[in-house]
Structure 1
């Protein structure tokens, strides 16, 4: 585990020990989104690609999804670091401290 993530976990532990709500710390905007809408157009494109490459549509779809997951996995550490930085900024924010005081 890298330092940024380790620091964030330590901050979570401190907040929990103090009895503070962790909800705001844990709700941050995602840094990466993966979406593959399965609408009529996507299915048509998948069918056409399967015909071009002369392969089964289901196998092609699973290969595309597996590739997308590999891509996400390769960048997972970077994404976790970015999420930890966002959470730390929220923790250190004077606005956050003021809202908790209220």
Structure 2
């Protein structure tokens, strides 16, 4: 569990122990919205694939999206490591230090 998630769980436990309502913590607005617009060509391909695999189009689309999300999640740690390395380089950069001094 990440530190942010661990801190959130602690915050939930503290609210519960104090008898406070948890709804404000649980109903936070979404940080990011994912939209996947499907063009006519994609819908046609999806229908053809569903016919080939003899399954429902919606179930096939859901399975494809879940697979894409699993792929993104599998690479997330690597992406975060790269971002942390870049941030570390920026902090050690003489240009960054000079701009902070100004």
What TM-score, normalized by structure 1, do the two folds share? 0.58
Greater RCO, 1 or 2 (C-alpha within 8 Å, sep 6+)? 1
> Which structure 2 residue ranges, 5 or more long, are not aligned?
2-34
What TM-score, normalized by structure 2, do the two folds share? 0.58
Two-structure CA RMSD over aligned residues (Å): 2.1
Kindly report structure 1 stretches of 4+ aligned residues shifted beyond 4 Å: none
Taking the TM superposition and a 5 Å limit, the aligned residue runs for 1:5-16 are none
> Which structure 1 residue ranges, 5 or more long, are not aligned?
2-34
Asked if 1:41 corresponds to 2:41, the answer is: yes
Asked if 1:76 corresponds to 2:76, the answer is: yes
Choose 1 or 2 for highest CA Rg.
2
2:67: which partner in 1? 67
